[in-house]
Amino acid sequence: MLIYLPLFVLLLATSYRFLIVAVAYWVSRPESEVDLSRFERAMSVLDRPRLRLPAGREKSEHDD
């Protein structure tokens, strides 16, 4: 069973989600000078479904 551990670690290290978590950890360090609000806004776009309006219709103030 332990023979699969290096393969699992390799798979985890090469996965896209691991990369996102590693970057988020690096940015959230206390000594980091990255603007966290801009980073959080950029990361939230990945989880948000795109809003698509029908063609020819603009979003009004009353649309939610």
Q: For 10-64, what is each residue's pLDDT tens digit?
A: 777 777 777 777 777 777 777 656 666 777 777 776 766 655 655 655 555 555 5
Q: Is residue 54 part of a domain?
A: no
pLDDT of residue 18: 73
pLDDT of residue 36: 67
How far out from the chain centre does Cα 64 lie? Answer: 24
Q: Is residue 8 part of a domain?
A: yes
pLDDT of residue 40: 76
Q: Is residue 61 part of a domain?
A: no
- The rounded distance, in Å, linking the Cα atoms of 23 and 64 is 33
User: What phi and psi, each to the nearest 5 degrees, are found at residue 47?
Assistant: -95, -10
Q: The tokens 């069973």 sit on which residue? A: 1
Count of structural domains, the chain = 1
Residues of the domain holding 20: 4-29+36-46
Per-residue DSSP letter, 48: S
